[in-house]
Structure 1
Amino acid sequence: MATLQTLINNIDYFYEITKIPMFILNKNKIIDHYPQFFFHLPKDCFKYLINSSMTRWGKVGILSSKSDITFFIIYEEYTICFGPMLCDSLHRYQSPKEIVFFNHLIKKPSINDILKKCISFDNQKFTYIQLIYQFLFNDYLSIEDMRCILHDNKKSEAEEEVKEIIITKRDYTNKIYTYLEERKFLKYIEEGESMSARSFGINFIHSESEALSHDQLQSMKYKVVATITLMTRQVISANVPLEDAYGTSDIYIRKVDSATSSQRLNEVFMHSIIDFCALVKKNKKANYPFWIRNCIEYINQNLHKNLSLLDISNELQMNPAYISNQFKKIVGISLRDYINKRKVEEAKFLIQCTNVSLLEISTTLSFADQSHFSKVFKKYTDISPNQYKNKLKK
Structure 2
Amino acid sequence: MYTTKGIRYLSSMLYETFRIPVGYRNSTATESMFLPSSFQLHPRFRDISAVFDYFIHDTDPGSKPVLCSTNFLEYYVVMQVQDPGKNPGMIVLGPTIPSLLSEETMQNLFHDFQVPRREQEQWAAYYRQVPQMSNKQFIHAALLLHFLVYGKTLEFHDVIIAAHPKDSTIQSGDDLRKTIAERRELRHFHQDPTHEAMLFQLIKQGKKEELLRLFPLLSDEKMGTLSKRSHLRSYKNLAITAITLATRAAIEGGLFWEAAYSLSDLHIQQIEELKEKNDVEKALVLALVDFTERVHARQLPNVSAAISRCQNYIFNHLYEEISLTTLAEITNLHANYLSQRFKKEVGISVSEYIQRQRIEEAKELLTLSDFPLSEICSRLTFHDQSYFTKVFKKYTGMTPKQYRKQRQLIP
Q: TM-score w.r.t. structure 2 length?
A: 0.52
Amino acid at match of 1:216: H
Of 102, 105, 125, 1:69 maps to 105
Amino acid at match of 1:359: S
Do 1:205 and 1:223's aligned partners in 2 also have CA atoms closer than 8 Å? no
CA distance in 1: counterparts of 2:285 and 2:252, whole angstroms: 21
Mean Cα deviation higher: 367-376 or 345-354: 367-376
- In the alignment, does 2:116 pair up with 1:104? yes
* Bigger radius of gyration: 2
Aligned to 1:32: none
CA distance in 1: counterparts of 2:212 and 2:296, whole angstroms: 14
Of 330, 341, 357, 2:345 maps to 330
CA distance in 2: counterparts of 1:383 and 1:168, whole angstroms: 65
Shift of 1:147: 10
Amino acid at match of 1:69: T
Aligned to 2:382: 367
Of 171, 194, 218, 2:233 maps to 218
In structure 2, the CA distance between the partners of 1:265 and 1:393, relative to structure 1 (3 Å rule), is: closer
Do 1:198 and 1:270's aligned partners in 2 also have CA atoms closer than 8 Å? no
Aligned to 1:6: none
CA distance in 1: counterparts of 2:168 and 2:392, whole angstroms: 51
In structure 2, the CA distance between the partners of 1:325 and 1:103, relative to structure 1 (3 Å rule), is: closer
In structure 2, the CA distance between the partners of 1:54 and 1:167, relative to structure 1 (3 Å rule), is: closer
Equivalences for 1:133-282 in 2 at 5 Å?
166-167=169-170, 171-172=175-176, 185-194=199-208, 195=210, 199=214, 203=218, 206-207=221-222, 209=224, 211-212=226-227, 214-240=229-255, 250=266, 254=270, 257-258=273-274, 260-262=276-278, 265-282=280-297
Amino acid at match of 2:270: R
Equivalences for 1:113-128 in 2 at 5 Å?
none
Amino acid at match of 1:186: F
Aligned to 2:370: 355
Do 1:232 and 1:249's aligned partners in 2 also have CA atoms closer than 8 Å? no
Of 307, 310, 313, 1:295 maps to 310
Q: Secondary structure at the match of 2:312?
A: helix
CA distance in 1: counterparts of 2:330 and 2:73, whole angstroms: 34
Do 2:73 and 2:97's aligned partners in 1 also have CA atoms closer than 8 Å? no
Shift of 1:176: 8.2
Shift of 1:369: 3.7
In structure 2, the CA distance between the partners of 1:101 and 1:196, relative to structure 1 (3 Å rule), is: closer
Do 2:206 and 2:296's aligned partners in 1 also have CA atoms closer than 8 Å? yes
Q: Secondary structure at the match of 1:99?
A: helix
Aligned to 1:311: 326
In structure 2, the CA distance between the partners of 1:107 and 1:327, relative to structure 1 (3 Å rule), is: closer
Do 2:247 and 2:260's aligned partners in 1 also have CA atoms closer than 8 Å? no
What whole-Å deviation, never above 9, does each CA across 1:165-206 have from its counterpart, x for those lacking one?
Answer: 832566449788899987665333212345368647854864
Q: Secondary structure at the match of 1:285?
A: coil
Shift of 1:317: 1.0
Do 2:199 and 2:214's aligned partners in 1 also have CA atoms closer than 8 Å? no
CA distance in 2: counterparts of 1:298 and 1:342, whole angstroms: 12
CA distance in 1: counterparts of 2:292 and 2:204, whole angstroms: 7
Amino acid at match of 1:167: I
CA distance in 2: counterparts of 1:279 and 1:59, whole angstroms: 30
What whole-Å deviation, never above 9, does each CA across 1:3-54 have from its counterpart, x for those lacking one?
Answer: xxxxxxxxxxxxxxxxxxxxxxxxxxxxxxxxxxxxxxxxxxxx99779779
User: Percent identity between the aligned chains?
Assistant: 23
Q: TM-score w.r.t. structure 1 length?
A: 0.54
* Residue ranges of structure 1 left out of the alignment (5+ in a row): 1-46, 71-83, 88-97, 109-144, 153-158
